Amino acid sequence: MILSMRWFGPGHDTIPLRFLRQVPGLKGVVTTLYGSLPGEVWEAAAIRRLQEEVASAGLAITGIESLNVHDAIKAELKERDHYIDNYITSLSRLGEAGIKLVCYNFMPVFDFTRTELAHLREDGAAVFSYDQAVIDTIDPGRMNEHMERISQGFVMPGWEKERVRELQRLFELYQGVDSEALFHNLVYFLKALMPVCQRYGIRMALHPDDPAWPVFGLPRIAGDLPGLLRIVQAVDHPSNGITLCTGSLGTRRDNYIPGIIHALQGRIPYAHVRNLRHTVPGRFEESAHLSADGSLDMYAIMKAFYDTGFDGVLRPDHGRAIFDEVAMPGYGLYDRAIACGYLSGLWEALGKQGKGGA
């Protein structure tokens, strides 16, 4: 298990790498060329600069999150092959740099969706929350304004202004793209990527839909085990993998996460581990990582990773805003550092039990 944290890069992340270096057991960061838009080719020099900066803090880049996929690919526009070529070029530059894990998602228009990014819990911690009833009152074309209002001046990943400025146009692109078409567009994309992944040993890690059901009537294909299995089987290559995000899959109570981990054994190069608490159907709030604080059993989840021989990159996902920290919602230092301690503790115990105790 390669314990990592997400870091948004110089000028974007408020947390210095030297602080991350002090988190026990942390091997590196997953990061991106923040500010680059989906479809752009990543320059080798920019990748190298980012690598050098991370290395100078004594850490490594353990993966890219995300190399975003242009909507022309998801919606099967005529320019899709051009954007796939660009994607392949960026992958080969990452491969040349020795970076072998690439996370992406295939959600139309939006990345993750939440109604609140600073929902106050009873202990005063602020967390992300979701309420389908509230989403149902929001005009999808104005969801960017809602996000801007709740994101406290930070640019949330996937919600970059340049991208969501033209929401109406984006929605139009997906008219006529149902979940079957979206699935076939993903398969077409993955088949094109496999040769370059094979050459460099790159493992693609599809992030599940978040929440794991259709939002604003947009199609979704990666929200449950049948959907994920269909994707890994359609392009049956070890480089076609899944980001096992417990918090995204866990939005659906009928998703049993340890079972999903077992069923996808060997195809999970990347894990996002976080907890959430279900309140009423269609409504949830994120919680501390501790099992007792949410609806997911973190011991059972980490045990499933352990028992399936997981050797990929694992990071805590969203943290709560605590101790008056001012940071990007979900990505402060304090709660994610606490999560690293907790997840490492579970992992150490599993390892020692696995070897007959120590």
Angle at 231 between CA 226 and CA 235, to 5 degrees: 140
Q: Is 209 in the site for ligand CS2 (CB under 6 A)?
A: no
Q: Is 207 in the site for ligand CS2 (CB under 6 A)?
A: yes
**What is the nearest approach in angstroms of Mn ion to the Cβ of residue 103?**
8
Instruction: Note whether 54 and 31 are within 8 A (CB).
Output: yes
Decide which of Mn ion, ligand CS2, none touches 66; Cβ closer than 5 to 8 Å per partner kind. ligand CS2
Q: Is 260 in the site for ligand CS2 (CB under 6 A)?
A: no
Instruction: Note whether 296 and 246 are within 8 A (CB).
Output: yes
**What is the nearest approach in angstroms of Mn ion to the Cβ of residue 158?**
11
Q: Is 272 in the site for ligand CS2 (CB under 6 A)?
A: yes
**Which sign, positive or negative, has the C-alpha torsion 25, 28, 30, 34?**
positive
Q: Is 245 in the site for Mn ion (CB under 5 A)?
A: yes
Residue length, the chain? Answer: 358
Determine the Cα–Cα distance for residues 127 and 252; give it in Å rounded to an integer: 18
Positions 2 through 61 that interact with ligand CS2 (CB under 6 A): none
From 39, 157, 211, 219, residue interacting with ligand CS2 (rule: CB under 6 A): 157
| Count of beta carbons in the 10 Å neighbourhood of residue 106 | 22
Closest CA to 136 of 221, 250, 227, 213: 213
From 13, 71, 160, 210, residue interacting with ligand CS2 (rule: CB under 6 A): 210
Positions 51 through 110 that interact with ligand CS2 (CB under 6 A): 65-66, 103-105
Q: Is 272 in the site for Mn ion (CB under 5 A)?
A: yes
- What is residue 316's DSSP assignment? E
CA 147 to chain CA centroid, Å, is 18
- Residues near ligand CS2 (CB under 6 A): 65-66, 103-105, 111-112, 157-158, 207, 210, 245, 272, 317-318
* Interaction site with Mn ion (CB under 5 A): 245, 272, 317
